[in-house]
Structure 1
Amino acid sequence: MHADPGPESPRPLDADALRRELVEGPGAPYTSLEVLEEVGSTNAEAMRRAGLGAADRGVLLAEYQASGRGRLGRTWTAPPRTQVVVSVLLRPGAVSPTLFGWLPLVTGLAIRDGLVAAGGVDATLKWPNDVLVDGGKIAGILSEMTTVPAEGDFELRLPALVVGVGINVTLTREQLPVPHATSLALSGGTTDRDVVARAVLEALAHRHEQWRRCERGSGSTISDELMAEYSAACSTVGAEVRVELPGDVVRTGRAARVDREGRLVVVTPDGELSVAAGDVTHVRPAAGRWGG
């Protein structure tokens, strides 16, 4: 069913202006940018286009996403033009698969950077990549991988990565998908979606380029610079946490650090526990809310 934005709907994104700034200008970081009026999932569409040969650093935005997807198979939606919904296609080339696990974390750091720069809010990260303002989730991220045919005559398939982001901009309290979410409007930030989209895409380009450079400068491992900057932005580090694992297994302790593999290292009464994002159902504060 097509979503009717209605007469009171916010104005649409200015696709031409975003393309001029992010695709067509000198040193522009992206190869293409398209704004879709409606799509099931920007990630699914970007993955489909990757299989058809879409270029590295292509951007898809949507005014309305009918079947948004998150971690652990969760689905969500929001009224048209109330979010910035964007997916970026990356063809990582020579980047080692050992660095792929850090891409969701680096993406979260970029979203936090963009919102701080343009959103007028004090955003922070909850490991691995939830973006919070005043303890409420303001953005969600989903990273996915597929393989696509290599160029030339060889029957070789290479990885393609898609990072998808949904940022709550003008959602009201009643429109939020879950009670612990928030939006830029509710947090006193900017509600100009063009400003948010541009700042977030610029931050993504910068952080993704840092991530790619790790292959050349750090021996296929995350750089000290990115580790330090992520850790400084992550409110989980140093907090007392409750880690919920599959099978109703719960561990509590202090989140001491994020390691080279992007795992959260928790000091428990039984010793250190290193947990990967894919192995965790939830990481929650032991008491109260996350810092904003």
Structure 2
Amino acid sequence: MNLTTLTHRDALCLNARFTSREEAIHALTQRLAALGKISSTEQFLEEVYRRESLGPTALGEGLAVPHGKTAAVKEAAFAVATLSEPLQWEGVDGPEAVDLVVLLAIPPNEAGTTHMQLLTALTTRLADDEIRARIQSATTPDELLSALDDKGGSQPSASFSNAPTIVCVTACPAGIAHTYMAAEYLEKAGRKLGVNVYVEKQGANGIEGRLTADQLNSATACIFAAEVAIKESERFNGIPALSVPVAEPIRHAEALIQQALTLKRSDETRTVQQDTQQVKSVKTELKQAL
């Protein structure tokens, strides 16, 4: 997937200097509007700030991912700013220094399309330390675009014999940035700790990585990192659950897994029949994601 199809050299601000979060968001919004990606900057900005009010979009490691999902977005796109001087931006643990801002413009009715798949791929790659460092140190638009298309060292969920299993669900209102980045950090922490961690993402593309009956039946505990209702929550009956805001795993994934391992299961005989785990039609999944 070529992520650069969703951006443009004119949407990249290298070594920019902004005095506030608002100035950075406004500047990147203007870039997208000039490229014809946004029909109303006022409506888009209103939605971006509404999302900012719901929870932090600074995600640690100097990265902020503000985003707006609104009909004012004509086509999915993103703009990037690397900063010469860090800005203070609200994060999980309070204000934090940010020197990389990625603004996502998300249309409301493109769930499952190539554009949305590209945006989710982008947010997953931003969780990769190497890729993020290349973006932050880019000195030319070509260097930045090349870094964006680096697939990085993303690994599938590891399987550890005789290790505990934690099942997770990540979900956020827009179904993009936090949903996929939280999943990536949980899986990364599981590999580091030697714990089987399986993450179901309930995002803009529907349910991805749907948890299987075997995974649910073997689960020691589950982690719900979500700010919207969990779909088909009855699947988790009998599994002790830890519920946290969707951004929490981005900063504290290892601690959350360790905390989940201390929870005690209330129903040791709990089983999920395979036929209750049948994959729904794509159309149904996408409808639920909106």
**Would you tell me which structure has more strand in proportion to its own residues?**
1
**Would you tell me which structure has more helix in proportion to its own residues?**
2
TM-score band w.r.t. shorter chain = 0.3 to 0.5
TM-score by length of structure 1 reads 0.34
